[in-house]
Amino acid sequence: MSPVTEQWGEVLRTHLALGEEDSPARAAAAFSAEAGFFAVAGRGDEDGWPYFRSTAKGAEGAQGAVPDDIEALCTVCEEAVHPRGLRIAGTFWQRESREVISDVVTGSELELGLLREGDRAMWVVRAAPDVCMFVLVDGDREAQVSEARSLVLDFGSFLAGQGY
């Protein structure tokens, strides 16, 4: 099943309540080993790309994308987050926890990892061997981290139900 970027961006926005000011998620991205990042969304009108893709000044001063460490992200999709952590958009995220949760609807297993970088938190859920998603938590209160966890698990269940 090949994802369509425009549709998946809206799916992320809807499932993670990114259109609401009080959403516990700041930005989200869906990634597959086959397609790379196939959907990215930020809260409200915010661009979510800077949280997931590095940019640097090009030779002529234009903004150009710097390739992400796709091999590392593919590894995330294969085995959840490596104990050493993960570099995303030039930021090193340290894995704080990892758990495997059985989805009650589909019976599939979802791997969930919590990443930290200073006082920031990000959830990673692996819904299938080649598909995972990232949700950057808005703020550092544990209530926001917990609420974002619920949203990311719901979305992981949705992905599993869609055959990913």
Task: Provide the β-strand partners of residue 123.
Answer: 114, 135
Q: Which residue has the higher pLDDT, 132 or 51?
A: 51
Asked if the structure places residue 42 within a domain, the reply is yes
Asked if the structure places residue 31 within a domain, the reply is yes
pLDDT of 80 over the 60 cut:
no
Find out whether 25 and 123 touch, Cβ atoms under 8 Å.
no
The count of structural domains within the chain is 1
Retrieve residue 113's tokens.
């990892």
- What percentage of the chain reaches a pLDDT higher than 90? 13
Coil/strand/helix, residue 40: strand
Number of H helices, E strands in the chain: 3, 9
- Distance between CA 134 and CA 28 in Å, rounded? 5
Coil/strand/helix, residue 139: coil
| Model pLDDT for residues 96-138, shown as the tens digit of each residue | 888 888 877 778 888 888 999 999 999 988 877 777 889 999 8
Q: How confident is the model at residue 44 (pLDDT cuts 50, 70, 90)?
A: confident
Q: Which residue has the higher pLDDT, 57 or 147?
A: 147
| Model pLDDT for residues 144-154, shown as the tens digit of each residue | 999 999 888 88
Backbone region of residue 81 per phi and psi (left: phi > 0; alpha: psi in -120 to 50; beta: other values):
beta
- Distance between CA 29 and CA 2 in Å, rounded? 16
Q: What is the CATH number of the domain that holds 90?
A: 3.30.450.30
Q: Residue 129 belongs to what domain range?
A: 5-51+64-161
Q: How confident is the model at residue 69 (pLDDT cuts 50, 70, 90)?
A: low
pLDDT of 3 over the 60 cut:
no
pLDDT at 21: 80
Of 93, 68, 118, which is closest to residue 84 (Cα–Cα)? 93
Coil/strand/helix, residue 112: strand
Asked if the structure places residue 104 within a domain, the reply is yes
pLDDT of 68 over the 90 cut:
no
pLDDT of 1 over the 50 cut:
no
Q: Which residue in the block uniquely carries the two structure tokens 């915010």? A: 46
Of 48, 56, 70, 65, which is closest to residue 134 (Cα–Cα)? 48
Asked if the structure places residue 94 within a domain, the reply is yes
